[in-house]
Structure 1
Amino acid sequence: MQFSFPSLKRLALLLAALGLGGTALAQAAAQPAAAGLRFSDYLSAVEQHSLELQSQQQNVVSAQAGVGIAGIRPDPQLSLGAAREQVKTGLPRPLNSSYGLSVELETGGKRSARIRAARSQVKLAEAGVEGFRTQLFSDAAQDFTQACRDRQALERKEQTLKALSDVVKANEVRRKAGDIGTVEWRQSRVERDQFQADVTQARADAQTSRLALSVPLGRKLSEVFGSEELQCDFQPFANDKNIDVLVVQALQVRSDVRVAQATLDNARDNVGVAQANRWVNPTLAVGLTAIPATSAGVDAQGNAFDAGNRSRMLSVSVSMPIPFSRLNRGEVLQAEAAVTQAMLGLQQSQHKAEADVRSAYFRFAAAQENVERYRSNVLADAQRVLESIRLSYRHGQASLLELLSAQRSADDAYLGYLQADADLAKATVDLQLSIGQRPAL
């Protein structure tokens, strides 16, 4: 088959463009991510704007108010009375007035026990907020890494689509020149058009995962950061401690261990309240009765009666309930059972913390090894194979199916690398959270 010089020149240019497609993909994989929205900035914004976190913080406000409520003493009671003496004199008699003031006296240290329990409830609420913040950070990190993975996958598929379009253009020139048949040209178009569906789905996934970043944030991502792109060049986690040291650190600062410890402290304080409530409270009452003076006179039957003098009577009384109800110790037993449950819960949380740290450590090490394998061997080998098949295809020594197979293999390798990188980011966050550290990527 003979070619004119213009046709040969055009074909050479198209094939050169096809050959440069793989180089561009390799360079894109090797170049660091451009500056943009950093994970640390996103995490700080989540902590500041999260509606769910603000809602959880109201539990602390409520618990702090409970301290003041626990310190309230019983209100005194004021009583007023009036009485009129009925006699057969036919004359009006003055009213007798009485005034009383009574107050319940708390015994057994009830007020101090309530205050201690309320203060431990504040610590429990604060620990609960920290636990919620830890879970919030975990969800935010997972959403951020997923958004990075989907965006990078979209970029890769768009580059692959461009490379397939270059193949179609080159094959169109070769078909017109008679170098290949119509079937091969159409097959390349079919592959390109089918891959367009993958690009469309990848674009939808990238848009969806970016929208998901707004959920932990409590508002639209664009309202806080505009249209800023994500910075997905995560830094490796530098860990210079062995696993046993990390376990000890986790047992001291992990939020779930702190919640379990605060639950135990609060349960013990509630036992003190239950025991203090078994003391009976006497009621002290002070009263004053005023009887006005009356003048002498004659009753309706003509009988004379003497005058009454004005008098004041002060009374003091103490009443004490008979504590038959204290024979039942059910309230104390319930409180002590809660302490036992809290102790078991603390032990369980400590065992879980140790298991979580060790599991996160192993997952982190495995993910780090997988990423390093992709970066050092898999990506480079897959790209070399693709470049070799492309070169062979340009010279007619490889079929279109071989080229497409090599392209799919290279794409699968790169997508596998992106997933491994996302897994490493997630394992990094899990390890940091498992030892009580603020996540950083």
Structure 2
Amino acid sequence: MAHLSLRTRLLVGVVLSVHLTGTVVLAEVQESRSYRLDEMIEVALQHNPALQEAASLVKQGRGLQTTAAAYPNPSITGTVGPGRTREALGDVAFFERGVIVSQPLEWPGMRQARLRAAEAALAGSQAAVDGTRLNVLADVKIAFYQLLLAQRNVELITEAVAIVQDFYRSVKARVDAGQARPFEALKANVEVQKVSNDLNHAQHSLVVARSRLNRLTGGALGKNFGVLGDFVSPRLGLNLEDLVGSAMEHHPTVRRVRKEIERAGHSLVQERQSLIPFVTVSGLFHQEAAETAYLARLSVPIPLWYRRQGEITAALSAKERAEAEHVRTQNELVAAITESAEEAHAAQDRIEVFEKGLLKQAEETLRIARISFQQGAASLLELIDAQRVHRQMLLEYTQARANLSVELARLERWTGELR
């Protein structure tokens, strides 16, 4: 029995160990998952807190609209208490009682202005949600391409490290065989250290880019994930006038500010209409010892001393501020679109230069330098320079493609159109 119990415990321990190990491995696999751009956008739409915060503004706007549509509540006042007639009428005890029902009546012009102001505010909140969504998706795209660039840089520099390490071993073997000077091995080792340092810097940049994208997705991606895909292909036909026209018509920020101007205008009308006072209609029942009365009452406050000058001034100021914000928003969008469009054109030009011959020339130069070095016609320094130039061309080409993708994402943000 003791041996059976021991074997049982060992078996259970092995099973638990396998289960826990499998869980850890599964967690690592999940954390190291790679996402495509559409998958990353879906995760951001589900978990980004800014979208949830913006959605609450719409709920708040609906609540304010409900408040604006509400009618004033009536009021009921009841009186009851003991009384006694005067001696001339005889000493009679009784209970007095009475009821007053009052209903304030709003001025229709003021009510209509308040309702329209609430509708404009709700539409502005919905435009703000669209603007937040646009910004989040543009930020996700930009962070995605920046992480993709960081990954490509790490891959390119990792390949360069392997090449220079192999080259260093070859040079060291030649030095050990007496076919080269020791100084050549020293120069090759310096190049290894330099490229290794570049790789270390690229890996740090990769961590930062991954953290930035993880923040935009509400921390739902974990710490060790990657991205899959490619940069945007060069696009022609980025017409500045069309882009600006699209922004002035469709951009959520422009729509939100226009609705704010509309809301402020209705609020100004509401304050001016408030000069006409509410009318309160009342019905009264009163019963005493000798009489019963059914009366109607009309109450109208007189705006004699204060005519809402402060509220009207504040509403007018809010409208002027919204109009100024509209002009400022338009100017900022035009400037941002112009800058991003020019940056996109510049990136397209750089990509075209690389693809039309610069990359092939750098690759051919490196090939010739390798052959010349093997034949003794080129020095070690010339070969190292050729390798460095080739690697730099690849990095700059990748950077240009990433810049184009980022600027196109920014153009989507500024024009208000997601492509």
Common fold: TM-score over 0.5: yes
Q: Which residue of 2 aligns with 1:262?
A: 259
Q: Which residue of 1 aligns with 2:46?
A: 48
1:248 equivalenced with 2:245 (yes/no): yes
Distance 1:123 1:182 in 2: 76
What is the Cα deviation at residue 91 of structure 1? 7.1
Q: 1:204 to 1:355 in 2, by over 3 A?
A: closer
What is the Cα deviation at residue 88 of structure 1? 7.9
For residues 100-249 of structure 1, the aligned pairs below 5 Å read 100-221=100-221, 227=225, 229-237=227-235, 239=237, 242-249=239-246
Distance 2:310 2:167 in 1: 83
Distance 1:425 1:380 in 2: 23
SS in 2 for 1:79: strand
Amino acid at match of 1:79: T
Q: Which residue of 2 aligns with 1:322?
A: 302
SS in 2 for 1:94: strand
Name structure 1 gaps, 5 residues minimum.
1-35, 293-308
Q: Identify the range of structure 1 (149-158 vs 207-216) with the bigger mean alpha-carbon deviation.
A: 207-216
SS in 2 for 1:288: strand
Q: Which residue of 2 aligns with 1:277?
A: 274
Name structure 2 gaps, 5 residues minimum.
1-33
Amino acid at match of 1:335: A
8 Å CA contact retained: 1:108, 1:277: no
Deviations 1:162-195 (A, max 9, x none): 0111112212321232101333223322331342
Taking only aligned residues, the RMSD between alpha carbons, in angstroms, comes to 2.4
8 Å CA contact retained: 2:141, 2:409: yes
Amino acid at match of 1:269: H
Q: Which residue of 2 aligns with 1:291?
A: 288
Distance 2:174 2:106 in 1: 101
Q: Which residue of 2 aligns with 1:84?
A: 82
TM-score, normalised via structure 1 length: 0.80
Q: Which one of 347, 352, 374 corresponds to residue 327 of structure 2?
A: 347
Amino acid at match of 2:365: V
Q: Which residue of 2 aligns with 1:63?
A: 61
Distance 2:51 2:236 in 1: 29
Q: Which residue of 1 aligns with 2:18?
A: none
What is the Cα deviation at residue 227 of structure 1? 4.7
Distance 2:183 2:241 in 1: 64
SS in 1 for 2:93: coil
What is the Cα deviation at residue 325 of structure 1? 4.0
Amino acid at match of 1:75: N
Deviations 1:190-245 (A, max 9, x none): 3313422221221222133123211111132259xx95642124333354x74323
What is the Cα deviation at residue 348 of structure 1? 3.3
Q: Which residue of 2 aligns with 1:313?
A: 293
Distance 1:352 1:236 in 2: 26
Q: Which residue of 2 aligns with 1:397?
A: 377
Q: 1:142 to 1:245 in 2, by over 3 A?
A: closer
TM-score, normalised via structure 2 length: 0.84
Deviations 1:76-111 (A, max 9, x none): 111111232246889772221111111211124322
SS in 2 for 1:164: helix
Deviations 1:221-270 (A, max 9, x none): 259xx95642124333354x743233322211122221221121111111
Deviations 1:23-49 (A, max 9, x none): xxxxxxxxxxxxx63323322332233
Q: 1:341 to 1:211 in 2, by over 3 A?
A: closer
Distance 2:106 2:231 in 1: 64
Deviations 1:242-299 (A, max 9, x none): 432333222111222212211211111111211221110122221212235xxxxxxx
SS in 2 for 1:286: strand
8 Å CA contact retained: 1:374, 1:417: yes
Q: 1:324 to 1:349 in 2, by over 3 A?
A: same
8 Å CA contact retained: 2:147, 2:227: no
Aligned length: 384
Q: Which residue of 1 aligns with 2:70?
A: 72
Q: Which residue of 2 aligns with 1:434?
A: 414
8 Å CA contact retained: 1:98, 1:289: yes
Q: Identify the range of structure 1 (385-394 vs 341-350) with the bigger mean alpha-carbon deviation.
A: 341-350
The structure whose residues are more often helix, as a share, is 2
